[in-house]
Every structure is written in C-alpha cells, then in structure tokens.
Amino acid sequence: MAHINQGRGGGELVDLLTKFHNISNKLKKRFLRKPNVAEACDQFSALANECEQRELWQYAGLCWLAAARCQGTLENGTSEINLLVKAGRQFLTAEKKDNDIRCPSIGQENIQAAVSCFGHSTIRCSNQSGFNAISAGLSVELALALGPSPAGIQQLRKAIDTFPTSKAIDTLVSFHISQGDYVAALQILSEFVEFVEAYVAAGARGNYNAILHRCEVTRVLLLLILQPSPQRLTPSLAQVLEKYAWAEENVNNANMSEDELLLLQSLVLACQSHDHQAVLELENELYPYLNAEQKELLHKLILALSIQ
C-alpha cells in the first residue's frame, strides 16, 4: 500500500485507519454481549464514503469489503453482493489511478483484491434465484477491466457459461483478435452464428440481422487473413467464402446492401488472385461499412498480402 500513500498526510491516514480499527473492535464478541453488526455495517459504509471523497480508493474498497462481510453475517445476500461489487470497483479504480501515474503495485494487490471481490459476488449470485444475468454481467465488467489477457478471457468464458450475451461473446472475440489468435476468434464467431440462426429459426424476434451481418463481415476478413486450405474448412465456413468467391448477381444476403456485397466479393476475388493493388484500392471504399475492429483486420490483411 505504500505507493498509494505518497502525497497523503500521515495524520489523515492514521485517522482513517484508527476509525476502521475502532469499528472492527466493536464486532469482537464479548461476555454476555452480542456485537451490533448492523451498526458496524453503517459505520463502515460511512467511512467508505469518506475515503471515496478523499480519493483514497484502496481504503474505500477495504471499508466496503468490511461492510459486505457484515451483511454476510446478517445473511442479507443482495446487500452483500452490492457491497462486494462496490469494493471491487474501488480496487479497480485504485489500480487505474496507480497506472495513470505510472506507479503500479508490484504485487498487483488491487487487481487481486478486485478479482476476489467480484469472485465472491458471483458466488453469492449463484445462491440467489434469478441472479444469473447479474453474475454474468459482473464477470464481463471484470473482464473489461482486466483487458485481453488470460484472466480476462477466463472471466468472459465464465460469463458466457453462466448467461450468454452478445456483448460477452463480442468481447471474447475482440480479445482473441487483439492477441492475434484469429483461429479462436473465428471458431467462437461460427458457433455464435449457428446459435443465433437456430434462435431465429425457432421464431425469436429481434434485430438479429445486424448481429449476423457484423459476424459475417468479420468472418470473411478472418478467413482471408488465415487462408485455410479447403480441407481444413468446415462446410459452414466454406459456404461463407463461396458466397463471395463468385461474382454473381442476385446473391441472397438480406443482411447487407448491394454495394457492400459487391465490395466484399471484389475483396475476396482480389485476395484469391493475390492482387495487392486491387485490395489497396478497395480499402477506402470498404471503410464506411466496417467498424473499428474490422478496419484493423482489413489493415492486417493488406499487410499480409504485401509480404506474400
């Protein structure tokens, strides 16, 4: 904690820690006297707010965590979850602030504390009926804070196993893409497309065309980068490329405009003929139809073609 204390008055921190220990002492069992856990929870919460106002994020996290433990003792599951999340978010804020001033903790105490708080909150969610979506959302929130790392990917897979959402799957794909693991990204996208198509076929209503459109364009770009041999292509992925590999009119694709379809067909044909110049000329025309991640993939594709 020493690196966080820089620039803070010693007396200020001693005062806060003294308050924290005084509240903690009230929870100790004494002869013929039960501790007032609810009162201690309120006092820990008030101290947490005071720490937040002073921008002592790590200490705020410790106070919210202590309040959460009080709610756990009182068997107030929902309140315990909320306070655990508050504690985890304060530890994440502390980590971010330390990184902003380029003074990260060597042992990553704040990250470890945040992971512990979010982990305990998801466990508590599993004990509450109807909390699956909240549990998954917390895992996604933690994953976004951890970034495209093994730990972040683990949290996203946990979220998808608990309550799959488009945001969790999109983020997992993005994490794999940012790490250059295009094979894993393509596999997840293909599984997601199959799931959505089955969902639509079962009569589900919603803006699924937009999701399928985004997935289709990303899959085309990933396939062009990977250039898998025909023997390694699954039938569904082979169909994706075949749709654009022939310059045919009236291709059935309700998810994109005619201009976008023609541009993607031209891109596939140019890549298959290794026409680097043609791909360069298509880049500017395709950009309006691509999101930031797809633009980056197109740039990677152009770089790959330039060294062939």
Dihedral angle over CA of 228, 178, 302, 238, nearest 10: 30
CB 193 within 8 A of CB 219: yes
Helix axes 10-26, 57-73, angle to 10 degrees: 0
Alpha carbons 139 and 26: distance in angstroms, whole number: 34
Alpha carbons 140 and 3: distance in angstroms, whole number: 29
And the tokens for 198? Answer: 């089955």
SS3 content of the chain, % helix, strand, coil (to 5): 75, 0, 25
Domain ranges of the chain: 37-100+108-163, 204-307
Angle among Cα 166, 170, 176 to the nearest 5 degrees reads 150
- Residue closest to 301 by CA, chosen among 286, 289, 233, 236: 286
CB atoms within 10 A of CB 20: 19
Alpha carbons 94 and 56: distance in angstroms, whole number: 8
DSSP string for 81-150: HHHHHHHHHHHHHHHHHHHHTT---TT-HHHHHHHHHHHHHHHHHHTSTT-HHHHHHHHHHHHHHH-SSH
Query: What is the pLDDT at residue 248?
Result: 55
Query: What is the pLDDT at residue 5?
Result: 44
Query: What is the pLDDT at residue 240?
Result: 86
Q: Is 92 left (phi over 0), alpha (psi -120 to 50) or beta?
A: alpha
Residues 6+ apart with CB under 8 A from 213: 255, 256
**pLDDT by 10s per residue, the chain, length 308:** 434 444 445 677 888 999 999 999 989 877 667 899 999 999 999 999 999 999 999 999 999 999 999 999 999 999 999 999 999 999 999 999 998 888 877 788 999 999 999 999 999 999 888 999 999 999 999 999 999 999 999 999 999 999 999 999 999 999 999 999 999 999 999 999 998 988 888 887 778 888 999 999 999 999 999 998 877 888 888 888 888 877 555 555 657 888 999 999 999 999 999 999 999 999 999 999 999 999 999 999 999 998 87
Which option is the CATH number for 37-100+108-163: 1.25.40, 1.10.10, 2.60.40, 1.10.3470?
1.25.40
Q: What is the DSSP letter of 205?
A: -
Dihedral angle over CA of 66, 72, 76, 80, nearest 10: 50
Alpha carbons 277 and 211: distance in angstroms, whole number: 31
Per-residue model confidence as pLDDT tens digits over 238-271: 888 888 877 555 555 657 888 999 999 999 999 9
Query: What is the pLDDT at residue 296?
Result: 97
Residue with tokens 């062939």: 308
Query: What is the pLDDT at residue 4?
Result: 43
Alpha carbons 270 and 265: distance in angstroms, whole number: 9
Q: How far apart are the first and last CA of the chain?
A: 52
CB atoms within 10 A of CB 112: 13
And the tokens for 24? Answer: 């903690």
Mean pLDDT of the chain: 90
